[in-house]
Each structure stands twice: as structure tokens, then as C-alpha cells.
Amino acid sequence: QVQLVESGGGLVQAGGSLRLSCAAYGRTFSSYGMGAMGWFRQAPGRERDFVAAISWSGGSTNYADSVKGRFTISRDNANGTMYLQMNNLKPEDSAVYYCATRAGDYSGTAYLFSHEYDYWGQGTQVTVSS
């Protein structure tokens, strides 16, 4: 079984920064560690939206247009952790942020759609005040 735990959320003023972390525990499927991973977010009354994704090696990344140039996804496979550096935050970035993994996928693809992931964390709240 795989467990993902997010941390780093909080309250920040517009223009500020936060760094989210996603730690992976449990079965990693191979010595390569976790497969493709991604970040999604969900604001009240809205569907869960794609934010960013990264392939298992980190060589491929994808971003939602709304966060390009402000957010950076990265990962440290040696420590089983993925990060989301969020700069120049805006009130519309407020949401619960979830990390996800497509365990065992070493294809080099950074997946954009939630149905492509099979393990999810519990989420961390990010609130950006104006």
C-alpha cells in the first residue's frame, strides 16, 4: 500500500510564497521509487483541477496555464518526496491541494488528468488573502 502525506499549506498574503511537500510511504514498487506524480487543487464548490505534474525522473513536467511561471514542481526520489514551490500567490490559488501518484509508472510522462492517478493524499489547505 502507498501513503502520500502533504504538508506546507497555510495562510499567506497575495504576492507571497509557499512550498508544499508530498512525502511517499510504503510500497514503492521498484528501486526507482514512486512513479509519475502530480498536484491538483480543489476550491469550495469546484471540481478538482490539475495544477502540475512530473515524470518519475523529473525530466518531464506539465503545468496548468493559470500557474505557469509562478509554480515549480520538483521531486527528490532518494527521499521519496515531491515539492510544489508556489510564488506570487493570488487569492484564486486558495484551495485544498492534493498530491497524487501513478505508482510504478516509469514511462517519462507527466500526466494531466486525475483519473490517471491511483493514489492520493489527504490534502493541505492553502489560503491566500487579498
Cα 31 vs. chain centroid, distance in angstroms? Answer: 22
Q: Which residues pair with 56 in a beta bridge?
A: none
pLDDT of residue 103: 85
Residue 110 burial (C-beta neighbours within 10 Å; 0-12, 13-18, 19+): buried
Residue type, 34: M
Q: Are 38 and 19 in contact (CB under 8 A)?
A: no
Question: Which residue numbers in the chain have pLDDT < 70?
Answer: 27-33
pLDDT of residue 66: 98
pLDDT of residue 79: 86
pLDDT of residue 23: 92
β-bridge pairing 71-76 and 61-63: unpaired
pLDDT of residue 120: 96
Element (H, E) at 25: strand 18-26
pLDDT of residue 18: 98
* Residue 58 CB coordination number (10 Å): 15
pLDDT of residue 117: 96
Residue with cell 521498484: 30
